[in-house]
Amino acid sequence: MLLRVLLLFLLLTESWSAPQRPCAPEDEVFGRCNNNVNEETPKCTEMNLGYCTDLEYSRTIFPNILGHRSRVEAESGAEYLLLSVIHGLLNGECSPEIRLVGCSVLASPCQNNRMIRPCRSSCEALRKDCAHAFEGIEMAWPYFLDCDRFFASNQEGCFDPLAGLRARQEVALSSLSPEEPSTIIQFTYTSNAQMYNLLRRTAAKCSHISHIYSIGRSTEGRDLLVIEFSNNPGRHDLLEPEVKLVGNMHGNEVLGRQLLIYLVQYLCSEYILGNQRIQTIVNTTRIHLLASMNPDGYELAASEGHLLNGWTNGRTNAQNIDLNRNFPDLTSVYYRNRRSRHYRTDHIPIPDAYWFGKVAPETYAVMKWIRSLPFVQSASLHGGELVVSYPFDFSRHPHEERMFSPTPDEQIFKQLARTYADAHATMSNNDTDRCGASFYRTGGIINGALWYSFAGGMSDFNYLHTNCYEITVELGCDKFPSEVELYPEWKRNKEALLSFMESVHRGVKGVVRDLDGNGIKGATISVRGIRKDVTTAEDGDYWRLLNPGTHILTATAKGFSKVTKRVHIPHNMNKAGRVDFVLEKVPVEPDIDDHFFPTDDTWDRFDPYNKFERVTEPGFGEEIERQEKPWWWNYFSQSGITPPNWLLRHV
């Protein structure tokens, strides 16, 4: 297809760059040619162009804007050829808008034997919305849609070629009953190029509430694109919680990827249409959607299709790394140190030894992303079962494959999982005919390690390294369902996705300040009876997910006093309660633990030897594989002990 695009581009370029030369005087004298061939009085004629029969007018005029002297000449031009195949080239994007505007150039309306040019404003709006589609197929914007050269201003008198299309769309929308959806979504599979184009187009359409950014690149150099929805996109607002949804971590588990692509379109369209629920979600929450964490794996899985794709093809990234086993194993660190009061069981640093292993660029990018924003809760969308699992995913006994291994926030996680499962159309049903496991007794939720144990998972990393609570949503038995199943799956999951995003507004939130009113970054909020603290963000704000009941909260920060408050959360409370703290500065006294338990492994140490920063750029994945490890590496790696820094410095 790309070859055909390039051929069309060359044809268009040639047709524009080689206009017909005027007749030389000596040739005209001898009758070889005639410079007055085009001096015939132009007259209106019937519209007979095959791909332009649905325009709002029936008469046109030749020569046209491009200099074509007749219908036959216009139909034989490369411009008309492009209009005939534009729908297929762009996979349906910006269709029929580009065809209608192109037809208005090839066959402009005629009144009283005078041409009326199409409006420049229509062309500029079209280019703003659709330029990305041509970029996606590596094709320049068509020359005959040059808004300055071939279009007219409103003051000059012009024709809007898209007015009729908009009118028909408005009539269609007004005819929908309240029960019918007002957002139109095409429920088909989306290639990587189409996904990138759709995200960019949505960000342009809803630029007042959305923002697109890349968190890095895959092994093969594909962008890991995130689209954000917020009433103030691009920045964190005080006390506004941040939620993320991640799809396609395993490349052959594609339903989550498609659901997030549909959710992107739904949030944008419904916000514009005035859906109060969607407007409330977007105006009070900062939402980040990473539709594909593993675009390389998806490329392999999609090349085989849903009929041929097995359970493993495309699961890993291009380095054959399972991304959900590639995160630092902080759960083992937690199990080793949980009984000692001298070690924190939250915000556990990444051991230096981790960086001497094989870290995928996708994992690296997501870790940096997780650390850079104050996420409160998250969901990772997978496939192969119909259940929601929650941490810990790694068993507290290394030799037990299936052992209940709760976090200190077991009840919070159960509530998060219950929120999604109960809102899903079938996940919590008492249906025993599932994909292979029996979750009907637990209502479609399960502790991850009780289901099956594995180390290096993303959900455990979120919980033990940051403030974020992440669940894993298994969307169904078929990892790569047929296209006809996409719309039914969207209906089953839409309410669950919305309910999950809304559920972040529970528990308590607040700001920790000093006596001068300045927010304190990195202050700790602890809850009595739950050995898991959260820390404040840049401006001193925090969020603590809690179930209804009475809780004792304590705020503290290094160099400040400690303040404790008793908080009651009613059962009928549908938003987070506000609990602020004001801390007074006090002299900093040496902590005896700093002497008896010194460590260089602090939370701020991320890729301390800059071994993987370059992995985010394409082409460096294999170089990491060839690095030789020192002779002592296997000892520390197998024992799980972090090598001392004086030894690591010699690597």
Which secondary structure element, helix H or strand E, spans residue 223, and what is its range? Answer: strand 223-229
Are 502 and 244 within 8 A, CB to CB? no
* Cis peptide upstream of residue 392 (ω within 30 degrees of 0): yes
Residues paired with 447 in a beta bridge:
390
Q: Is 440 left (phi over 0), alpha (psi -120 to 50) or beta?
A: alpha
Count CB-CB contacts under 10 A for residue 392.
27
Using CA atoms of 275, 281, 282, 283 in order, give the dihedral in degrees to the nearest 10. 100
* Amino acid (1-letter code) at residue 640: G
Q: Which two tokens stand for residue 82?
A: 């492009």
594: CB partners within 8 A, 6+ apart: none
Token pair in block for residue 158: 């012009």
Number of C-beta neighbours around residue 518 at 10 A: 10
Beta carbons of 317 and 608 less than 8 angstroms apart: no
DSSP 41: P
Single-letter amino acid, residue 135: E
SS3 of residue 137 by DSSP: coil
Residue pointed to by tokens 């990772």: 380
| Phi–psi pair at 413, nearest 5 degrees | -65, -40
b/e code 5-29 from CB counts within 10 Å (16+ = b): beebbeebeebeeeeeeeeeeeeee
Q: 503: Cβ–Cβ under 8 A, 6 or more apart, which residues?
A: 377, 415, 416, 419
Helix or strand run (H / E) with residue 647: helix 645-648
From CA 633, how far away is CA 640, in angstroms rounded? Answer: 11
Backbone torsions φ then ψ of 6, nearest 5 degrees: -65, -40
Can you read off the two tokens belonging to residue 284?
Answer: 């009070």
| Cα angle value 469/475/478 (rounded, 5°) | 145
**Contact in structure between 439 and 307 (CB atoms under 8 Å):** no
Closest to 6 in 3D by CA, of 189, 145, 138, 188: 138
Just list the catalytic residues.
474
